[in-house]
Structure 1
Amino acid sequence: MKVEHYCRGALYAIVGISVFQALIGEYLGFHQCNYLCDVLLILLLIVRMWESKGAFIYTLKRVEYLPIAAFGVVILLGWFMNGVPVLHALWGMRNYGRFFLFFILVVDFLGPQDAINLEEFFLKLFPIHITLVVFQYFVGGHKQDALSGLFGTITGGNGGMAIYFCILLCIMLSRMEYGKMRYPQFLSYLALMAVNTAASELKFFFVIAVCIAGWYVVVSQKKKRAVTLAVIVCIAMFLGMQLMYQIFPFWTGYLDPTNIPEVITSQTVYSTSTDIGRTAVFSKLTPMITEWSGKGALAWGIGLGNADYSDSFSFLNSEFYTVHQASHYTWLSLGYLFSETGYLGTISYLAFFGVLELRALWRYYRERTRLQMLGTFFPFVALALIVYNSTMRSNFAYMMFVMLAFSMLEKDPQRNTTFWGEKHLEE
């Protein structure tokens, strides 16, 4: 029992590192603390395999894991069809495999009480986050991407904040649905999130928050309450956008309904005409891939690791990245994915989230519990993040992957829920 206790602690530690890594790097100087997650995952896998005498493999017979297996087959095909340096192949496998391994270990080790604990953890962090935001803004003079609270003052930290805010909003709505949160806390948290989003210029959250509210109305069993809460969320986001326009006048009208279609279909992302836009990943990367590895590579990609790079280890920078980095395909998870695994790999990878969504809905409509409802939010949020930026490849993604597992921690007939000395929690 002690071994399982330590394994649970290690999984909690990985989530904690993903949240606090920016602060640890900035204030303690330990900038490589994110690699501790890799070490913990390897140790967890070794312990689990040793403890189960190899029987762990048989626990993988779940429909949710089929897309992972299909993705693995495409990776092998891509490696076979392309010459991939061993170190680059291992680096690419690490950058995708760590999250799948983490997800599987969470499902294997954690139970419904752990889900409740993690919810409480994310909720209780919010006042600390806002305190840090106030300090960074008024004392440090930070703004826009450099104003990310728990997620630091380095450009890119707002990607972690976006994941955190999505998680927080989903938890808040599910708790309001089941009477686990009162209106004063809900409204104060929502107002502070809107102000923080405006000051940090986190435009994505204004849009995804409205989508989350809409999804909540669809799955809710209490439609009147759901519509009321969704309207409140939309009003808060609208007011937040107006505040952002006041702080950053050059964005005025950017998220107006008439301009959103143009934003979505833009062929560029941020800086120049060479950028690959979020809806132009396939059209702009296709000629680059075919020129690099032939038309066949559109099916299986140029090989996992062959389009990757590393900020810490320059020897892991691929030739494809060196030649095409100006296109900024690395700013989008979908850009990496299509380049390295082609259409087959992209479909397999995205199918993982699609299957999770369908299974989460099936469990929710069968059992009607709060955690099952909460589990229906995250697959589509993850898909939106994959299209929006590259955060789902960063350490911040551990937060999302632990939430993706929530619906599989609820009353699974194949799981001994008393293994941890706990009883199943009905909410």
Structure 2
Amino acid sequence: MPSGSLSQRKDVLLEVLGVALALMLLVGSFYLTGAPYLALGIAIGGLVVVWACMKPKRLVYVLIIWCCLYPYLESDLGMPRLLSYGGDLINILALLFSLRSKKPRAVKWGWVPVPIALFGLVALLSAIVHGVSPMLMLWEVRNVFRFFAFFLACICLLDTEDLKKIVKLLLAVFVVNLVLCSFESLVLHYGQDNTNGLFGSGSGGNAATDVLLLTMSCLAVFGYGRKTMDLPRVVFIIAGSCWISIIAELKFYFIQLALLIAVSLVVSKPSFKNLFLAVLLLAGLYEAVQLFYLFMPSWKEFFDLQTILESSSDGGYGSNEGLNRLSAIGTLQSMFISNATDNLFGLGFGAGTYSQFFSAPLYATWGETLHWTWFTDAQIYLETGYVGLACYTAFFVVLGAHAFRLREGLEASEAALVETGGAMAFFCVLLIVYNCVLTVDPGGYLIFFFLSMPLVVDRERRLQPREGKVIQ
């Protein structure tokens, strides 16, 4: 039988099976939900997942796209909250495929896995010692470790070209978000906390918006330094980020931008080009802050060190009873920690967790008052103590330092990706205190994709000689 005829029959068979699967999913989901649009969405989503599994790296693409769509579908189009758990399914499939890969053997891991392995050990022992319910512990494993699983999946499944394609996709998302956020603010007159474009008009969308702005800004700054991004695009990205920060009241982005300028000067080779960009960005940052004061007169003179420290320490964030960023751990320590052992190792991994279906006893009593789940450092400290928090934080510090060591000898576009990943690792140390984006989606997935970039690029460099390629 001719090979062409066999291939055509195989294609026809796959099409028939695809249609049959779509009909089964449509009928089955409609029977279970009684909602035709939801059933159609499940059927389409099921087909997309099956299609992605045929080439596992597609799962990462699908999860990134899902991160940028589901908040809008949920908060603005009324899709059920259960939609958010679709990311877990995709993530688990990506992890299973990644465990079959041999690519991690070529990764120069350094000390990167050690802190998170120690954190996992502390988390497990703390849960056992305090008798935390296995269900609560497993749910907290899902909350915290799913992003590390995604980090591994990215390293195992993606190559450098995939990184560049996803970055282009996220740049497109940035442009779409710029338009949507402007429309929401200027035309629909949404409140600042609800102006998040594709990341939805519900509470919490600001965290993912900030991640998108920060990652795009890192790509712009390091891309310009490596001559892979021209000045007009850099100005567009930074100006667009500042504009979104103004209308969405993302004060923290301005602090991040100032730190990014400083980091770029420290890690980049001294040159007139880099110095010019730093001066230009500082001037733009000053003007953006003045425009922010114009739009938000109630925050006049906020960007003063003493004011920032006081607003992050005094009272509570969101309510007088709640925790605040810089005083959260001290408050938890005085209320719940009664001995040195608990101070070091916490009350047990899962002891302070919750979901829409169940919650830990401690959370049921105090969680909705104190809101420790709003801050990653508070959540990690409460459950694993100072030792667990130190191990968790050390992962990002070690990864950042390791990333900047890996950039030597890379071509410009790849070095820019590695530097972006390294800078994001250091910014994660701030994000641990600032909010809970490292333990919630969609922002967590976006962050850990960027964190994986240095190791993906380095792995590809190490595999090139075996494939007969020349390292530039």
Q: Is structure 2 residue 92 aligned with structure 1 residue 42? A: yes
TM (norm. structure 1) is: 0.89
Cα separation, 2, equivalents of 1:165 and 1:233 = 15
Cα separation, 2, equivalents of 1:83 and 1:414 = 46
Q: Is structure 2 residue 344 aligned with structure 1 residue 299? A: yes
CA shift, 1:345, in A, is 0.8
Q: Choose which of 360, 363, 370 in structure 1 pairs with 2:416.
A: 370
Cα separation, 2, equivalents of 1:4 and 1:109 = 12
Cα separation, 1, equivalents of 2:284 and 2:471 = 33
Cα separation, 1, equivalents of 2:217 and 2:246 = 16
Q: Choose which of 374, 382, 388 in structure 2 pairs with 1:345.
A: 388
**Paired residues, number:** 415
Counterpart of 2:350 in 1: which secondary structure? coil
TM (norm. structure 2) is: 0.81
CA shift, 1:367, in A, is 4.5
Q: Is structure 2 residue 170 aligned with structure 1 residue 122? A: yes
Shift of the 329–130 alpha-carbon distance from structure 1 to 2, 3 Å rule, reads: same
Cα separation, 1, equivalents of 2:69 and 2:469 = 31
CA shift, 1:167, in A, is 0.3
Shift of the 250–3 alpha-carbon distance from structure 1 to 2, 3 Å rule, reads: closer
Partner amino acid for 2:435? N
Unaligned runs of 5+ in 1: none
Q: Choose which of 63, 72, 90 in structure 2 pairs with 1:14.
A: 63
Cα separation, 2, equivalents of 1:169 and 1:355 = 22
Shift of the 58–296 alpha-carbon distance from structure 1 to 2, 3 Å rule, reads: farther
Cα separation, 2, equivalents of 1:191 and 1:86 = 48
CA shift, 1:88, in A, is 0.7
CA shift, 1:415, in A, is 5.3
Partner amino acid for 2:164? I
Q: 2:144 is matched with which residue?
A: 96
Cα separation, 1, equivalents of 2:132 and 2:470 = 47
Q: Choose which of 381, 400, 405 in structure 1 pairs with 2:427.
A: 381
Q: Choose which of 301, 326, 332 in structure 2 pairs with 1:253.
A: 301
Partner amino acid for 1:333? T
Shift of the 246–33 alpha-carbon distance from structure 1 to 2, 3 Å rule, reads: same
The alignment yields a C-alpha RMSD, in angstroms, of 2.7
Q: Choose which of 170, 177, 196 in structure 2 pairs with 1:148.
A: 196
Q: 1:286 is matched with which residue?
A: 333
Cα separation, 1, equivalents of 2:468 and 2:217 = 28
Range with greater deviation from structure 2 (361-370 or 66-75)? 361-370
Cα separation, 2, equivalents of 1:423 and 1:133 = 45
Partner amino acid for 1:298? N
Q: 2:455 is matched with which residue?
A: 408
The C-alpha deviation readout for 1:41-75, integer Å capped at 9, x for no partner, is: 222333344x46xx799789932111121011101
Unaligned runs of 5+ in 2: 1-50
CA shift, 1:423, in A, is 6.5
Q: Is structure 2 residue 83 aligned with structure 1 residue 33? A: yes
Cα separation, 2, equivalents of 1:28 and 1:275 = 29
CA shift, 1:332, in A, is 0.6
Q: Is the 8 A contact 1:24 1:31 kept in 2?
A: no
Higher Rg of the two aligned structures:
2
Cα separation, 1, equivalents of 2:104 and 2:243 = 47
Q: Choose which of 70, 73, 85 in structure 2 pairs with 1:24.
A: 73
Shift of the 415–363 alpha-carbon distance from structure 1 to 2, 3 Å rule, reads: closer
Range with greater deviation from structure 2 (20-29 or 69-78)? 20-29
Q: Choose which of 361, 365, 379 in structure 2 pairs with 1:319.
A: 361
Q: 2:43 is matched with which residue?
A: none
Range with greater deviation from structure 2 (386-395 or 21-30)? 21-30
Sequence identity (%)? 26
Q: Is the 8 A contact 1:112 1:425 kept in 2?
A: no
